[in-house]
Amino acid sequence: MNINNFLLDNGFLIRDNPAIAPDLTLDFERLADEVRSEQAVLEKACDPASARQAEGKLQRIILWPKSVFHLGAAAFFVVESRKTGDGALLTTAPSVPAFDSVCKIGTSIRLIPLLWSNLIKLKNFVLEDDPFSTIFPRAEGSLRTTSLGVGARFTTLHWPAVAWVMKTLRLPLTANQNSIPRELVYDVDAMLEGRLAQVPFPFIGSSVPEGHQGQSVQGMSHASIITLLKHGFHHHGIPWGFNADHQPIGGRFDAIEDTLVSGSLFASYITYDMSPELSLYKKLDGDALEAAFLSSVEPALFSAVVKRLPAVNYEIPENEVKKTMAYLMPAMKKVKRRDECCTAIRAKAFTTDAGRRFFRELSIDELPGETTPQMLAVCCALAEAMGMHFDFVAPNIGFQKNIPYADNAGLKKKTGVLFDIARNFGASIGFHSGSGKSAENYRTIGRATSGCFEVKTSGRYTYEMGVALSQSTDPGDQKLWADWYDFTKQLVIQGAFADDVTQKTFARDFIRASLTMEDVAAGDVFTSPETLRKTLDTLQSSPDHPFWFEYNFLFILAGKGSTARLGDHSAGGYEQRGRFYRISGEARLSFAKRIAAYILFLAESTALADPAAAGKARKKLAAFKTYEELMEDIFTGSVKTPAARSAVVSECSYY
């Protein structure tokens, strides 16, 4: 069984369960029949004006007039089944480039299914025709040195708000970001065959399958591109990025390297995470160090690193350099191999330099303990000596997810030292676990790095969905929120009485923090599960309760909403996921507004946006009464010609 058949056989539609399959057309024959039924209207859609006229006359098909783009003289539009969400490109041009499975309808309509293979071809055709097109994520402009990384766990519900902020502030962002394979399914065939590995989560005392958010990396790539295209974001000419985050290097991931590389084909920015390989080694001394050093480090590399370090103001004893290089070398060799694979697959798939280009980040942030300046200096010098350049390096700076950094003076000093090293190698600093920091933390990041940074945020946006649902007046939204909150309550009660010490400690800490927030004494709540539940049941449900905040992501793919079926990639898990894509217009608007407001806060705090521009954007955001109004405004003020888009890309090239 392939993924398309799995989805169709179980009644899962792209409309309310998007970004799972690499293709955005699951049943092309049915979509073509629906287009035939409205052929008389659609065949008149030959330009934006006629497409807008046709839009209001259609019953079974959604035509997206703002999606228009040109290949030569031919105008193309995105069309979509109103019932299923299956999509295609439509043109009335007499001839089209060599896409796969093109369907001719009548004498003038050509319908092109949104297949993964066609997405590759489309990128080539578009960039050959318009090298400055921003339909696809680009490694371009200010994104080389500066960005906010926006983790998009709710995919198509998420991206319109991000596009609106980019348009309103004229600010390039890494608009699509997720960890692969931890959060995204790296291989839908492995998923269907039950071959996804288990990822340990000590704070819940168990493991959850890879890809625990449900969407595939290819599906997310495809859906992000088409979502922004439908709303006309490409007409603004603002570069945007897609970060394939935490691409694991070495360890058990050697066996799936080719699939990780091919799945991330459309990423404009790849983060190489060395922690899986480095976790297999430790720093050595004495004879063991000498043996490891001689077997893994070439004398010329050692000499190059030793000579380079004084230039970054680090005089490190040669024995320490030996220790660090012997420790890093196996992982760095695999980073180089992975980078060569990512480069080669782009050279094979894409025909233009703009299409092949991607940014690189070297991540050492997931290793135990904070990254020392000495470690970062040797790591950067070694990468340079091996012929690798990284646009970003991500040290472990001591950030915890969703917790402000208490010592702001210490953050300033630490960041300044690490940034001085990074910029000697032409790199910016990547701040992982960047959600939930204070405004002063973000200001410090912006200043201490001279604006050369990326802050990655993800968990915050799941929280914003919880707030949107909890405040909605829609009965369906309220039911989803109640189930979500109760799910986390069940998990924390189970954890509070678990045999696993780590699981129990975390759960009880989350409970105490939640009770303290509500001015409820913990007392004897841990006498029994029944006593604890009785106490927690007295609380008004809130997305601010720490136990909800920490466990919430596990609900999204929990089969039938059960705590016993976490990361369930069967039909039960995807039915659960689909509930989030059936929320009301009220909740959609609230979610979008909250995402946009948080990104505005980040942009202003880090000085990517000036206060006046951010304030004006907030005022405009507050005025939207419907989700449709916000989506409509994504297109407002767009530039129209390729020459104008070229100027915008150039304008966005400097921080």
Q: What is the Cα–Cα distance from 509 to 488, expressed in whole angstroms?
A: 14
Residues, the chain:
655
Q: What is the per-residue pLDDT for 311?
A: 85
CB atoms within 10 A of CB 124: 15
> Are 416 and 448 in contact, with CB atoms under 8 Å apart?
yes
Q: Write out the two tokens for 4.
A: 């398309």
According to DSSP, the β-strands at 269-273 and 359-363 are: parallel
Q: What is the pLDDT of residue 362?
A: 98
Those residues whose C-beta lies under 8 Å from the C-beta of residue 331, and which sit 6 or more positions away, are: 249, 250, 274, 277, 278, 281
Token pair, residue 640, equals 């129209």
> Nearest 5°: CA angle at 371, between 367 and 377?
120
- Can you say whether the dihedral through the CA atoms of 346, 175, 255, 219 is positive or negative? negative
Residue 90: beta bridge partners? 77, 111
Residue with tokens 């979502």: 227
Residue 407 tokens, joined: 């010592």
The predicted pLDDT at position 255 comes to 97
What's the pLDDT score for residue 641? 62
Q: What angle do CA 497, 499, 500 make, to 5 degrees?
A: 110
* Nearest CA among 402, 548, 532 for reference residue 483: 548
Residue pair 653/243 in contact (Cβ under 8 Å)? The answer is no
Q: Which two tokens stand for residue 226?
A: 């088409």
DSSP conformational letter for 480:
H
Give the Cα separation of 444 and 333 in Å (integer). Answer: 34
What are the tokens at 203? 């704070």
pLDDT of residue 459: 87
| CA quadruple 374, 380, 382, 384: dihedral sign | negative
Contact 118, 96 (CB under 8 A): no
Question: Could you give the CA distance from residue 181 to residue 187 in angstroms, rounded to a whole number?
Answer: 9
Answer for the pair 620, 189: CB distance below 8 angstroms, yes or no: no
Decide: 52 and 68 in contact? Cβ < 8 Å: no
Backbone angles phi, psi at 85, to 5 degrees: 85, -5
Tell me which of 3.40.50.300, 3.90.550.10, 3.40.50.1010, 3.20.20.70 is the CATH number of domain 141-461.
3.20.20.70
Burial of 494 per CB tally in 10 Å (0-12, 13-18, 19+)? middle
The phi and psi torsions of 205 (rounded to 5 degrees) equal 75, 20
Q: Which token pair is 204? A: 């819940």
Q: Which of 494, 489, 542 is nearest to 518 (CA)?
A: 542
User: Distance between CA atoms of 393 and 415, rounded to whole angstroms?
Assistant: 12
User: Quick one: tokens of 548?
Assistant: 């909800």
Q: Give the pLDDT confidence score for residue 313 in this predicted structure.
A: 79
Tokens of 130: 């318009």
Count how many Cα atoms sit within 13 Å of the Cα of residue 258 in the half-sphere of its side chain.
Answer: 1
Separation in Å, CA 301 to CA 252, 422, 626? 27, 19, 60
Enumerate residue ranges in the chain where pLDDT < 70: 1, 639-655
Nearest partner of 220 among 155, 316, 312, judged by Cα:
155
What burial class does residue 128 get, using C-beta atoms within 10 Å of its C-beta: 0-12 exposed, 13-18 middle, 19+ buried? middle
pLDDT tens-digit profile of 423-458? 999 999 999 999 999 999 999 999 999 999 999 999
Q: Would you state the pLDDT for residue 655?
A: 34
SS3 542: coil
Mean pLDDT of all residues belonging to the chain = 95
Structure tokens that stand for 605 in this block: 């705090």
Domains in the chain: boundaries:
3-129, 141-461, 475-582
pLDDT at 653: 45
Query: H/E element holding 111?
Result: strand 109-113
Contact 181, 248 (CB under 8 A): yes
In this prediction the pTM is: 0.96
